[in-house]
Copies of this chain bind each other. A is one copy, B any other.
C-alpha cells in the first residue's frame, strides 16, 4: 500500500513517461511543486519498494508494479471526475483539484461500484480514457487541431491542457467535447485558425489550437 504522497509521485512519473522514457528529477519536481532534492529522496524510496527503476543521474522509469499502481490512480482520478460532472453538475474546469484528493481514497469496493454507478464510462470529462479494473484501456487516436489543414474536419474529443483558464475559454467559445469542426482558414500573420463550428465562424489562437485534440478527421 502506498502513501498519498507516493501515489502522487507515481502518477506524475507515469504521465511524464508518456513523453520521455527516462523521467528526470527536475521534471518531477516541477509537476509535484517541490524541490529536486525532495524528489531524489522520494525516488530512492520508490526504488527501494521496486516501484521504479532508478540509475543515479539518469532519472527513473516505472516498473510493471509501479505502472500498475499509477494506472490505478489514474483510473480513480478519471472516474471521480466523471462523477463530479455527470452527477454533481461540476463544470469540466472545476473537477481537477477535487479529483486530485478523491483519487487517494482506498477501497477497491468503492471504485468498482462507482464505475458501475456511472455506467462504466470509457472516457473522462476531458476526453481522456478510463482504464478498466485490470488497468486496460485503448489510447485513442488523436491529432492536434493545429496540425489540420484548410478544409479538414473532425470531432473535438480531447484536450491536452487541463488548466481551468484554458477549459473555461473553450467553453465560452463553444469548443466542447463531441462538437464537429472544420478548418476554414489559417491566418498567415499569427498562425491563428479560423474554424467552422455549428454554422458559426470563430477564430482561435495557435496556442489554443495546439491543445485541442481531434478525431475522425477527414482530409479534404
Contacts and interface: CB of A to CB of B under 8 A. Distances in A.
Interface stretch (A57-65, A101-109, A135-143): A101-109
A90 interface: yes
A101 B106 contact: yes
**How many monomers of this chain does the complex have?**
2
A94 B101 CA distance: 22
A117 interface: yes
A87 B117 CA distance: 7
Interface of A: 84, 87-90, 94, 97-98, 101-102, 105-107, 109-110, 113-114, 117
20 contacts: A84-B110, A87-B117, A88-B110, A88-B113, A88-B114, A88-B117, A89-B113, A90-B109, A90-B113, A94-B109, A97-B107, A98-B105, A98-B107, A98-B109, A98-B110, A101-B105, A101-B106, A101-B107, A102-B102, A102-B105
